[in-house]
């Protein structure tokens, strides 16, 4: 009886359509890793057939995100265009209940 249940689950999985690309698949979040790690991530996304890649960063990582976009655009893929640059501020709560403002940036590169 357990075998039939396993078989039924396997056939149900086969009938389900394949997952589509998630919305966040074309987003690269820039942090504290070396710049070239993020450059490789962006190039990998474009090589996979994505038309746009979002490079997102907050706070001190913003300058690294700009470096990533410029390196990709100028050194590796000269056919890319900067589609949009969004800047903003988030209010974050830190220890003790105090609130601070953190800058954010989103750079959209497109083929």
Domain ranges of the chain: 24-110
Query: Among 106, 63, 48, 60, which Cα is nearest to 71's?
Result: 63
- Residue 78 main-chain phi, psi, to 5 deg: -70, -10
DSSP structure class, residue 60: G
Give pLDDT, residue 46.
93
Report the distance separating Cα 107 and Cα 102, nearest Å. Answer: 17
Report the distance separating Cα 26 and Cα 51, nearest Å. Answer: 9
Can you tell me whether residue 58 is helix, strand or coil? strand
Query: Among 108, 100, 94, which Cα is nearest to 45's?
Result: 108
Look at domain 24-110 and name its CATH class.
Answer: alpha beta
Q: What is the pLDDT along the chain (111 residues), one digit of tens a residue?
A: 555 555 555 555 555 544 445 556 799 999 999 999 999 999 999 999 999 999 999 999 999 999 999 999 999 999 999 999 999 999 999 888 899 999 999 999 999
**Under a CB-based contact definition with an 8 Å cutoff, are residues 107 and 69 in contact?**
yes
């Amino acid at each position: 009886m357990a075998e039939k249940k396993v078989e039924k689950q396997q056939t149900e999985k086969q009938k389900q359509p394949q997952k589509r690309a998630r919305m966040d698949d074309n987003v690269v979040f820039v942090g504290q890793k070396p710049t070239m790690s993020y450059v490789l991530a962006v190039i990998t996304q474009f090589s996979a057939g994505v038309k746009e890649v979002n490079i997102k960063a907050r706070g001190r990582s913003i300058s690294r995100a700009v470096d990533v976009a410029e390196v990709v655009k100028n050194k590796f893929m000269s056919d890319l265009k900067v589609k949009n640059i969004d800047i903003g501020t988030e209010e974050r709560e830190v220890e003790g209940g105090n609130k601070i403002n953190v800058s954010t940036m989103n750079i959209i590169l497109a083929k």
